[in-house]
Copies of this chain bind each other. A is one copy, B any other.
Amino acid sequence: MTLLALLDYTAVLVFALTGALVASRAQLDIVGFAFLACLTGIGGGTLRDVLLDRNPVFWIADPVYLVVACAAALLVFFTAHLIESRYRAILWLDAAALGVAVAAGSGIALALDQAAGIVVVMGIVTGCAGGLMRDVVANEVPLVLKQGELYVTCALAGSLAAAAASWAGLTPASGAAICAAVTVTLRAGSLAFGWRLPVYRARPPRR
């Protein structure tokens, strides 16, 4: 298995776990679990492939991705009651999935020799779109837009690191590792220690 496929598998698996956990909070049945797990797991990579016109889309070329997402749904369906805070589990699994997916997305754009700006966008799209679809469909506040937390910022920093690593001549594997590490570290720091950027605050208008 190539490095990029391995990253995609891991991202699909971990995002699918978060989708299934959201399904458990919404008290859906097993098919609802599988639906949200697949949407979250393959959503980001699918958007990336459609935008880059990669044919066929990764999970059509290899339907095992769907099996992985459904297995994650099954696992969560029978074990979610063992978890003390499903919301915290979603946040932390989502952070891990974000790191891997950003590495997968930027790696694939680099392998296609895209411009640096496109590499960065594809990292962000692959990392953020699946979770965004999950939250919009399940009608939760999108993690992407949660005030006072780093989310897209982590994906942006990770993608920039991947682009820089490639520009510096590092191997794709090192680049992916650095990218995932930067993304997860920033996101974990935001979750655990409240790292954040200054947010916009309305000041009274001049007159």
Contact = CB atoms under 8 A, between A and B. Distances in A.
Interface stretch (A1-9, A144-152, A174-182): A144-152
Contacts of A138: 145
Interface string A68-79: 000000000100
A78 B145 CA distance: 19
Interface residues of A, number: 64
Given A33-B200, A197-B30, A137 B147 contact: no
B31 A197 contact: yes
Nearest to A33: B200
Residue from A23, A118, A203 whose CB has the most chain B CB atoms within 10 Å: A118
A169 interface: no
A143 to B, nearest CB: 12
A192 interface: no
A147 B81 contact: no
Contacts of A118: 60, 63
Nearest to A83: B205
Contacts of A28: 145, 147, 199-200
Interface of A: 23-24, 26-36, 38, 46, 50-53, 55-57, 60, 63, 66-67, 77, 80-84, 114-115, 117-118, 121, 124, 132, 136-139, 141-142, 144-145, 147-148, 150, 152-153, 156, 196-206
